[in-house]
Chains A and B, each alone.
Chain A
Amino acid sequence: MVNKMRKREARKGLLTSSTYLIYAAIFWGYPFVWLVILAFSRWRYVGTPQFAGFRNFLRIIYDPIFWKSFFNVLNFLMYYIPIVLIFSLLFALALSKLKYGKTFVALSFLVANISSGVAYSIMFSKLFAENGPLNQLTYKLFNTTIPWFTSPQLAMFSISLIVVWKFIGYYGLILYSGLISIPQNIYEAAELDGANKYVKFFKITLPLLNPSIIMVLVFAISLSFGIFTEPYMITGGGPMRSTLMPMMVMYTSAFQKLDPTYSSTMSIFIAFFSFGLIWITRKLFEREVELV
C-alpha cells in the first residue's frame, strides 16, 4: 500500500517537473551539447561539422586578440566592482533610511536596469562625446575636455560608469533586502555597549551583509564576462582594442569571420574563467552568517 502511494507520488512529481525538464532539455541541454560538438569541430555554417580535436583550443592559446579581451574584462572588473559596490550600498542605506516613497525611489533606480542597452548606449555616447554637453561644460568651466571614449586609458572606465548606472538599482535592492533582514536588537545591544555608528557599520552591518555582498559580487563577475552592448555600441571595442570584450570577439568570429566553432571554444574558455573567478571570490570572501 505504502509502495503504491510512493509510486503514485513519484509519478505526480515527475509529471509536474516534466515541463521544466523538457524545457531545459530543449533550451539548455541541446544548445549545450551542440556547443561542445562545435568546440571540437570545424564547421562554417554549411554541411556537417568535421572533427578537429583540440585545434580550436590550441588556437585560443596563441590568439592575442582573445587574451586582450580577457584582460580587458579584468580591467573592467577593477573599475566596476568597487564603484558599483560602494554606490549600491549607499543606495541601499539611503533607501533603508527613507520614511516615505521607498517604492517610488526603488523603481526609479530600477528603470535604468530595464532600459534598452542600445538606447542608453546611444544616449551616453552623445552625452560623453568629445563636444557633447558634458565636455562643453568642462571646457567652459576648466578650459579642458575629457576624452571619455577616445582615450585608451579612460574608455574602459567610462564604460564601467555606464554599467554602474544600470546596475545600482538592481544590486542596491539586493543589499537593501540584506540590510532589513539584520535584526534591530543587535544594533540596540551594540549601542548599550557604547558602539558608535562607524563601529556598528563595520562590525555589524558589513559582516552581516556578507551573503548579499557575495551575491552582488557573483552577479557582477558573471556580467563582466558577458558584457557586449555598451562597448559594441559606444566604442566598437576601441580605442586600441582597450574595450574589446570576449563577447565581441566571439560575435565577430562567428558572424563576420564565419568561424562559429572557434567562437564556441572561446565561450567555453570564458565560462570556465568566469566560474573560476566566482569560485575564488566565494572561497576568499564568503562567510557563514547566522541571523538570529
Chain B
Amino acid sequence: MKKIITFIFLTMFIFSFAKTTLVFWTAPNPNQEAFWKKLVAEYEKQNPNIDIEWTTIPAAGSSEEAILSAIASGRTPDICTNIFSGFAAQLIELDQLVELNKLQGFNELISTRKMNNIIDGWQFMGKTYVLPIYSNPILIWWRKDILNEYGWDTPPRTYSEIYELSKQFVVPKEKYTMRVVAGRNWWDRWFDYITYYYAASEGKPYIDLKKFKAVYNNEAGIEVAKFFETMFKNGWTAVDLGNAPLYNGVILASLKGPWEIPYAENQFPEILKNIEITPPIVPDNYPKDKPIYTFADSKGLVIFKSSKHQKEAWEFVKWVFSNPENDKLWLEMTKMPPARSDLLENELFKEFFDKNPLAAEYAKYVGYAIPPALITKTVDVQDEMTFSLIEPIMYGKKDAETAVKDSIKKINRIIW
C-alpha cells in the first residue's frame, strides 16, 4: 500500500513538472484582452502540456516601465505584446530579445501572414526581433454633418482649404477647425507633426538612420510647421480644446487611430454615423494622383531571451499568427488592422469590412502607414521636438522655419 501511494505521489509530482508554463503579457485594453483570453484558452485546450499564464502588462505608468521593472527584478515574461519599435530598439540594445528570424518556420509565417513588405520596417540592423501584430494608420475624422452645414460636400484636402474652412467656422474661444497638436507627451508627436510630415513628404523618414541625423528640415517639414503656425496664430486651433471636442462639435476634425471606433460606438453612436475618414491633409502643391502616406501606430510581439521555453513560446506565436481566422477575430474585436498586406483582397475579411466601413478606411492605408524611426532615443528626440519645435510655434515664440532649424540642431546633438 505504501509503495502504491508513493508511486501515485511520484507520478503526480513528475506530471506537475511536465507541464510547460509560458508567461504571456498583453496590452491592458479591454478589446485586446477579450481576444487573447479566447485564444489562450483555445491553445491550452489543444495543447494540454502547455499552461499559459496570461495577464495584461502590470499596472504602471506605461508598458515600458512595467517591462523594465520586470527585467530589473528578473520577472520578465516569456512573450510580451504592445512593444513599439523605439522601445524594441532599446531592448535589442540591452540584448533582451530573441532574434525571431533565426527561429524555425519564421519565413513561412511571414509569407503566410502576408507580412513580407511590412516586416522590412521592423528590421534592426537586418535582423527581426519584433513580430508586428497590428498597424494602425493615423487618419483624420471629420464631422460630415457640420461640414455639410457650411457647404462642404467633401472634407478639405489641403492646408489652404483648411484655412478657408476656418474663416467660415471658427468662433474665438468657442469653436475651432481642428485639433492640430495632440498634447505635450513625447508620444504625442507621432499623432501630430510626424503624421503630417509623412503625409507632406510622401512618407520620407524624419531621421536618417544611416547618418543618424534628423532630416525634416526640408520643404515638407517646413510646410507642416508653417501650417501649425498659421493655425495657432489665427486662433483656428487651440492648445486645450476641452473634453471630446470632436463629438461635442467644438472642432470639425482630428487625427485618430482605429481604436477610436469601438470607443465612439459605445460613447457617441449617433455622432459616429456622421463621421467621415480621410488621410491627413497635405500642402497645396501635393499631387492629387499620388497616395497620401501617414504614420503607423504599430505594436508588435517579442520573446524575451530570458525565457526558458523559447521554443514553446515560438510555437504559440506561430499558432496564433499563421491562422488568418485569428486575424479576423482580432479585427472584429479590436477594429485595428492586423499587420498584413492582404486585408482588402482577402475574402476572409470582406464581410467585416463591408459591415465596418470606417475600419475599411483604415485597412486601405495600412500599406501607406509608416512606423516611427527605429532609434533607441525616441523619448529624447520627441521630447526635444515638443520643446524646440511644437511649443515655440504654439506659443508664438519662434517662426516655423527657425523652430524647425533649431529643433534639428538639438535633435542631432542627441542622436549623433
Contact = CB atoms under 8 A, between A and B. Distances in A.
B379 interface: yes
Given A45-B71, A46-B71, A46-B95, A255 B61 contact: yes
Interface stretch (B115-123, B240-248, B316-324, B328-336): B240-248
Interface in B31-73: 61-62, 64-65, 68, 71-72
B242 A131 contact: yes
Nearest to A130: B240
Given A45-B71, A130-B239, A152-B395, A236 B173 contact: no
A239 interface: yes
Interface in B349-395: 377, 379-380, 383, 386-387, 391-392, 394-395
B94 interface: yes
Nearest to A132: B242
Given A45-B72, A46-B71, A239 B61 contact: no
28 contacts: A44-B94, A45-B68, A46-B71, A46-B72, A46-B94, A129-B243, A130-B241, A131-B174, A131-B241, A131-B242, A132-B242, A147-B239, A152-B395, A236-B185, A238-B386, A238-B391, A239-B394, A240-B387, A240-B395, A240-B397, A252-B383, A255-B62, A255-B64, A255-B65, A255-B68, A256-B64, A256-B65, A257-B377
Contacts of A8: none
Contacts, number: 71
Given A130-B240, A131-B250, A238-B184, 17 more contacts: A129-B240, A130-B239, A132-B242, A149-B240, A235-B184, A236-B183, A236-B185, A239-B184, A239-B239, A241-B387, A255-B61, A255-B62, A255-B64, A256-B64, A257-B379, A258-B68, A258-B94
A235 B240 CA distance: 11
Interface of B: 61-62, 64-65, 68, 71-72, 90, 94-96, 173-174, 183-186, 238-243, 250, 377, 379-380, 383, 386-387, 391-392, 394-395, 397
Interface centre among A236, A252, A255 (most CB of B within 10 A): A255
A86 B334 CA distance: 53
Interface string A223-261: 000000000000111111100000000011001111000
Contacts of A126: 243
B90 to A, nearest CB: 6
Contacts of A252: 379, 383
B411 to A, nearest CB: 14
Interface residues of A, number: 27
A205 interface: no
Nearest to A235: B184
B119 to A, nearest CB: 25
Nearest to A44: B94
A132 B243 CA distance: 9
Contacts of B240: 129-131, 149-150
Interface string A12-49: 00000000000000000000000000000000111000
A139 interface: yes
